[in-house]
Chain A
Amino acid sequence: MIIAERKPLEEIKSMLSGYKKILLVGCRTCVTICWAGGEKEVGILSSQLKLASSGEGNELSILEATVERQCEKEMVIEELRDKVQEVEAILSMGCGVGVQTIAEIFEEKPVFPALNTTFIGMPEAEGVWVEKCGTCGDCMLYWTGGICPVVRCAKGLLNGPCGGTRKGGKCEIDPEKDCAWVLIYRRLEKQGRLDLMRKYYEPKNYRAVKRPGRVEAATA
């Protein structure tokens, strides 16, 4: 899922300066799970903005809404159509895709991001998420025991490990992090596929990702 973090309050306040009525929009999908932009976070940010603005003698009027999936036009239109008419600007607590979806639909209103979208990952523990996929467009997980060296190796090495692996299988750049290639070695060892460690991987074809990416389902 997509992981995001809330921007500092000061940055959000500076984006909103000059606006009195805003619509604060959360998303019930990825950013709800990573505690960044769900219904609850919308309530918290709304309270904070109201308290901060009333302290400065310029109270904001905030409408709150949470869309099931901010990246789906139909859902955004259905949920926000009427509310948008009542406000001067929209503050989105969705990922970068959500912000752009709203901006594309309601072109006449300025749309601001309340989050920084950081990576694609998974929860590791309660309140901790780690990056797992770099969306390189040329997946090699079948050779590496299901562990991605592109994002999990600090250097993104395709033929690791490098010479700097620390004792205990930690990364030389960050001793808190595991060396991805040590993890790959141990995984392949469990699977009896260690011969794959001898395989040479040619430089990756990063051109497989064309910006902006576009995928069309065969059955569409």
Chain B
Amino acid sequence: MNREDNKIVAFCCEHSAYQVADKAGRMRLHYPDNVRIIRVPCAGRVDVQHILKAFEKGAAGVLVMGCQEGACQHLTGNTRAKKRVKYAEDLLKEVGIDGGRVKMVNLAPDMAQRFIREVKEMAEKIEGEMRR
């Protein structure tokens, strides 16, 4: 994976965001083809190390997508993920990577349009920064 490919890694909770991504596909909705979806049992499974490793291996952006606040299947997985994303943002800023390259997104299983919007926003943000 080269950073030039502008790959976006999306860690998707299997109870919400992964179903949303699946639904978006079934609805034939288009979204950028540089997104790589990784199915996780809960957003709370995603660690700071996973996020940093994605960047280390060449990802240009990371999305951590979990259930909506208060609706986590594992009760606190999404709130833990939110804290970890914030921590990862700070660590990335230290090495000169814009904190906006990693984002936590909370989704319900029927929010296909929101999923598409978030992915597109990240793809456009990265593309804009690469052009600069």
Contact = CB atoms under 8 A, between A and B. Distances in A.
A50 B49 contact: no
A200 B101 CA distance: 62
Contacts of A44: 48-49, 52, 91
Instruction: Identify whether the interface residues of B are mostly helix, strand, loop, or mixed.
Output: helix
A9 B95 contact: yes
A50 B52 CA distance: 10
**Chain A: interface residue count, which band?**
10 to 19
Nearest to B48: A44
A52 B96 contact: yes
A55 B58 CA distance: 11
A40 B88 CA distance: 13
A20 B95 CA distance: 18
Interface in B14-49: 47-49
B97 interface: yes
A40 B49 CA distance: 7
A43 interface: yes
Given A40-B49, A43-B52, A55-B96, 10 more contacts: A9-B95, A44-B52, A44-B91, A47-B56, A48-B94, A48-B95, A51-B52, A51-B55, A52-B96, A55-B97
Interface of B: 47-49, 52-53, 55-56, 91-92, 94-97
Interface of A: 9, 40, 43-44, 47-48, 50-52, 55
